[in-house]
Amino acid sequence: MHQALLTLGFGLVTAAILSLSAVAFTLEYAVTNVANLSHGEILTVGAYAALVVHARTGSALAAALAAAVAGGLMALAMYAGVVDRFIRRGTPTLVIFIATLGLSFVIQNVLVIIFGAANVAYTISPGAPRQVGPFLWTAVDIEIIVSALAITAALYLVISHTTFGKALRAVSQNRELARVSGINANFVASATWFLAGLVAGYAGFILAESIGTFNPSFGFSFFLITLTAAVAGGLGRAFSTMVGAVIVGIALEFFGGFVSAGYNLAFAFAILALVILIRPRGLFVNARRSVFE
Amino acid sequence: MKQYLVSVLTEGAIFGIMALGLNVIWGWSGDFDLAYYGYVALGAYMTLVLTIGRHPAPERYILGLELPYLVAVVLAVASAMVLALVIGLIALRHLRGIYFSIVTLGAVYVLYVMAGQFVPLFNGYQGLSGLVNPMADALGIDFNSYQYFFLGFAIAVFLLVYLFLSRVSNSRFGLALRTLREDERAAAAFGRDIYRLKLKAYLLGAGIGGLAGALFAAYLSAFNTSAWAPLETIVLYAAVLVGGRGNIRGVVLGVLIVIVLIEESTRFLPDIPGHPAIVLALRPIVIGAALILFLRFRPQGLLPERRYVDPIQRTAAPGGTT
Amino acid sequence: MTTEAPVALDVRGLSKHFGGLRAVDDCSFTAPKGKVTGLIGPNGAGKSTAIDLISGFKLPDAGTVVFDGKALQGLPPHRISRLGLIRTFQTPREWRGLTVLENVVLARWDEGRETFWRGVIGLRKAQREATAAELTRAREILDEFGLSELRNERAGNLSGGQKRLVEFARMRMAQPQLVILDEPMGGVNPVLGERMALAIEGFIATGTSVIVVEHNLPFIERVTHHVVVMSQGSVIATGPFESLRSNQAVIDAYLGEMPTYEQPSA
């Protein structure tokens, strides 16, 4: 039991990072209907930005901010440079999906050129693990969980209680209708992607902190797990995505405990396949349909 | 120099076969399948475990037979099709669009992870080796001339696949497949069993991928997880897209441009001292950029699919309801 | 007491709901064989959903659909199509990248020649002859519809009206026992509409029964022998168009009068 609780504790850390990444991905999808396959690269860029700033300033706080800002700018560039141009032409979303895959390829390798392909170490001394209730967490772990909760709460407030949030929801429901009602859909989408990038960039920072090393492809690997959570929760639905992320994060930790962690990815996708087969639209959506509905 | 040319052309032929197979699934059937490279990899792995016999420990892998190369090729193709059947049964039944792509992406990553982590399967990250100059003994080819022989063999296989697919393309089956790509609902309304057709196309494409993998294994003499990455599928997609999706001549052109030209041109760039990774990283950047640009500006590719022009020329017939 | 006229389609108790919304609610009607039946009703009456249910594109929650003595409910669309029921869609669904000629030729599902092996290997004389015969027939049909000039054009390049004609040509090629037209008059000018009316009469002449879903009531008056009126998911009235004019339930559903059809002078 004790062991199970410990694993649960570690799982919650993973779940925290996963939920931030997944929510950001879901926001991107919600306002553009595009599943952004280069989303993982936002995390990677955030991690590298944090590394550079930390090396210069020695401040973890500055590093965190740098990660967020870099992520926001990267996401904005993705939107304005690629995604929006396709949307304006009325390109089918599957085609844009393919384009984001190409984008992932490009960004990962640009990072290779700048930083090299090798693993870089990201050492922020985690501090000694302390007993917090039934869990064993380091100071960094606690920061991760707390900050994830705070960001999630902030996002929730923004989405449900601000005019911007209302506009966001309108655009995600029906872009044309929102535009006709006077909402500048393009601005809302750009701002949302920037926001999502802030969150994802920060997620990259805490992920790097948590793992300790990273390389240009680490965001993509983590993204594949993020994808599991996002699709399991239901693409485009923020709340259920978060629940999906928590479940997947904890499940992975338990699974990793029984079998080597190298299989994590395979396990995550096994979950995904199962979810998609049973409920193609996600765990929390009704479904009894023919393939045409 | 000659040796270099031979190897480039051989690789070109092998990738040409791969791209032709992908064209069946994406160009004709319209499914953005991200698992494709997995079929190539499985073809390569299976060819090896069927031909290299049993190596001593610590190497571990399944089977370990010493079958003739051509027999192994056939079995490798069959196993790729079996894998495709499993994945296709799951992914094609209810899923379309990005959900289909994501599940296939997952499937190929599962294969990738298993191949690397689960050692008893294909010897893990070390992989397999030892397929040296297959068919050389049987045909009496000496070591030095083998590369020319294999080049001829690869090109012959490529031409066979090309001609075969040319027949498929012009057949009613090929046309029916394309109605699925153009409009699934209308295809169903006019009697096409979408699931069955797509599954057949998927198996066909995967089988061709497995064939390419079998050749690839002979070409490299070995195969392990560093020889393939699931994302390499993007390179094949870029080739098919740039060349002309759906048009098999376009696919060949695309392979020449994307794979042969771009790959080889970066090979000749000087290494920048201190940054060995840069030149290697340029290739995927150019390919990724080409993919995006073509999707945006020329999605039909350089050689668009040809229109069928009615062989009978006639002037407008009088009558009919006006 | 009725003289039993043969029935092309017998729908009983068809139902489908989405969450709380009852899109189709215990809908029942019959379509007589060899005639044109109209299916009308205000927006949201459930007409399109009913057609989706009948043709297999949606799964009904309850009810039966009997066509030519066979039960259709639960069957996938391609099976229903092979049994002889073919439908169109509200927006023209041509095979964009294929030529107009190909669009028409491919309207007929040919079990014998569409399998993989026959496609690749089969070059037997019978097959070649079949292909030639098919092409000839397709050309004739395109002639009838005045589309011959366009036969080598990619179908996606055609105008909306031309695409609708291609749909009719496809139907003629396929020769089903029952054709269901889903709002064929959408965005169509009166001259083209008259052409369609004549094409529908052509279907009847060759023994095909027709069901037309339409908002354009003048058109319905022009082509149909029998009309079914739906409102809020179920059938509220049936009969010849004229008789519905004075039907109070129908008037209420439409909130007013129903206009008449004028033959265009062309």
What gap in Å lies between CA B95 and CA B32, rounded to an integer?
11
Residues of chain B found within 8 Å of residue A101, distances taken between Cβ atoms: 234, 291
The stretches in chain B having pLDDT less than 70 are 266, 269-277, 314-322
Q: Are B158 and B17 a contacting pair, CB within 8 Å?
A: yes
Asked whether residue B242 falls in the same domain as residue B144, the answer is no
- State the pLDDT at residue B274: 62
pLDDT at B236: 94
Chains that touch C (3 or more CB pairs under 8 A): A, B
Q: Which domain holds residue C144?
A: 97-157
pLDDT recorded at residue C256: 54
Q: Do B186 and C77 touch (CB under 8 A)?
A: no
- Same domain? For B284 and B159 the reply is no
* Residue C162 falls inside a structural domain: no
A101 touches chain B (CB under 8 A): yes
The verdict on C27 and C10 lying in the same domain is: yes
Q: Is the distance from CB of A30 to CB of A269 less than 8 angstroms? A: no
Kindly state whether residues C256 and C179 are assigned to the same domain: yes
Residue C33 lies in a domain: yes
pLDDT tens-place string over residues B42-99 = 999 999 999 988 888 788 888 888 899 999 999 999 999 999 999 998 888 878 888 8
pLDDT at B232: 85
Segment 202-241 of chain A within 8 Å of chain B by CB: 220, 224, 227-228, 231
Q: Does B89 touch chain A (CB under 8 A)?
A: no
Token code pair at residue B27: 């160009």
Q: Are residues C9 and C37 in the same domain?
A: yes
Tens digits of pLDDT across chain C (266 residues):
455 678 999 999 999 998 788 899 999 999 999 999 999 998 888 899 999 999 999 999 999 999 988 999 999 999 999 999 999 999 999 999 899 999 999 999 887 778 887 766 766 666 677 788 889 999 999 999 989 999 999 999 999 889 999 999 999 999 999 999 999 988 788 888 888 999 999 999 999 999 999 988 889 999 999 999 999 899 999 999 888 888 888 888 876 555 555 555 44
Residues B135 and B247 in one domain: no
State both tokens at C12: 């009983």
| Domain match, C84 and C107 both | no
Distances (CA, A) of C161 to A255, B182, B279, C103: 59, 19, 55, 16
C145 lies in the same domain as C256: no
Q: What is the extent of the structural domain holding B129? A: 2-228
For residue B97, give the nearest of A94, A112, A277 by CB distance.
A94
Do both C82 and C187 map to the same domain? yes
Same domain, C138 and C210: no
Separation CA B80–CA B77 (nearest Å)? 5
Domain end among B208, B228, B248: B228
**B282/A109 Cβ within 8 A:** yes
Based on the fold, state whether residues B289 and B188 are members of the same structural domain. Answer: no
**Interior CA angle at B73 toward B70 and B75, to 5°?**
115
Chain B contact set for A117 (CB, 8 A): 277, 281
- Judged by CB atoms closer than 8 Å, whether chains meet at B189 and C89 is answered as yes
If interface means Cβ-Cβ distance under 8 Å, which residues of chain A face chain C? 286, 288-290, 292-293
Domain count of the fold of chain B: 2
The pLDDT, as a whole number, for residue C257 is 52
Same domain, B220 and B255: no
Q: Which of B228, B257, B279 is the last residue of a domain?
A: B228
- For residue B48, list its beta bridge partners: none
Examine the domain organization and report whether C75 and C192 are in the same domain.
Answer: yes
Q: In this structure, are B263 and B208 located in the same domain?
A: no
What are chain A's partners, defined as 3 or more CB pairs within 8 angstroms?
B, C
pTM of the model: 0.91
Residues C48 and C82 in one domain: yes
Residues C83 and C207 reside in one and the same domain: yes
pLDDT of residue C245: 81
Last residue of a domain, which of B228, B253, B268? B228
Q: Which residues of C touch B173 (CB under 8 A)?
A: 114-116, 118-120
Q: Report if residue C163 sits inside a domain.
A: no
Residue C219 lies in a domain: yes
| pLDDT < 50 positions in chain A | 286-290
**C109 and C187: one domain?**
no
User: Which of A286, A289, A292 is opposite residue C19, by nearest beta carbon?
Assistant: A286
To test the contact with chain B by mutation, choose from A276, A278, A279, A285 the residue with the greatest count of B C-beta atoms within 10 A, namely A276
Question: For residues B14-48, b (16+ Cβ closer than 10 Å) or e, as one string?
Answer: bbbbbbbbbbbbbbbbbbbbbbbbbbbbbbbbbbb
CB B20 within 8 A of CB B162: yes
Residues 6+ apart with CB under 8 A from A220: A40, A41, A44, A104, A108, B231
Q: Give residue for tokens 């439409």.
A: C254
Structural domain includes residue B314: no
Q: Count up the domains in chain C and report the number.
A: 2
Q: What is the pLDDT of residues A125-141, one digit of tens each?
A: 666 777 777 788 888 88
Question: B172-182 vs B146-170: helix axis angle to the nearest 10?
Answer: 80
C25 and C70 within one domain: yes
ipTM: 0.89
Q: Is residue B318 part of a domain?
A: no
